[in-house]
Amino acid sequence: MATVYEHRDDPEKAPPAANDLPDGYRPSADEPFMNSRQLQYFREKLLAWKDAIHREAAGTLTQLQVDSLREADLTDRASSETDWSIELRTRDRQRKLIAKIDAALRRIEDGEYGYCEVTGEPISLGRLEARPIATMTVEAQERHERNEKVSRDE
């Protein structure tokens, strides 16, 4: 397992407190990696993403209840069923995404967030900004995907 940074011994890396980020704050390479501000920033980003997914799911559920499939024309009904099938598959993917968001939030609490689960090296801030649920550095992820492709090809 990767090396875990023990934030309990360093107040600068303690779990983030609520709402003390300056407006427009963005993590920077000029500050200590995964300091309390960065952790709070990513925690809030993850929570906002999770909340948006929940709101979309609630909207889908409401729409499903309101718009039952009552089209008289078979073609219209088939089209509606296809649309709902796509929508429900999207919601299922998002349900799986919520599990990854929850895992990232646990890593923040455990002091493991931002570090590669394979190498223990810091994951770049750019990667975390683009994919806050990332668990590996780009290099480790590429190696993992190459190995996965080789396994599939055999």
Give the model's pLDDT for residue 70.
Answer: 67
Provide the whole-model pTM.
0.75
Partners of 122 in beta bridges: 115
Give the model's pLDDT for residue 8.
Answer: 40
Give the model's pLDDT for residue 20.
Answer: 77
Give the model's pLDDT for residue 82.
Answer: 85
Give the model's pLDDT for residue 81.
Answer: 80
Phi/psi at 3 (5° precision): -70, 135
Measure the CA dihedral 44/46/48/51, to 10°: -140
Cβ neighbours of residue 134 under 8 Å, at least 6 residues apart? 123, 127, 128, 141
SS3 state of residue 94: helix
For each of the chain's 154 residues, which pLDDT tens digit applies? 444 444 444 544 554 455 678 999 999 999 999 999 999 999 999 999 999 999 988 887 777 766 665 667 778 778 878 888 888 888 889 999 999 999 999 999 999 999 999 999 999 999 999 999 999 999 999 999 999 877 777 6
Secondary structure, 3-state, 10-58: CHHHCCCCCCCCCCCCCCCCCCCCCCHHHHHHHHHHHHHHHHHHHHHHH
Instruction: Give the Cα separation of 20 and 143 in Å (integer).
Output: 38
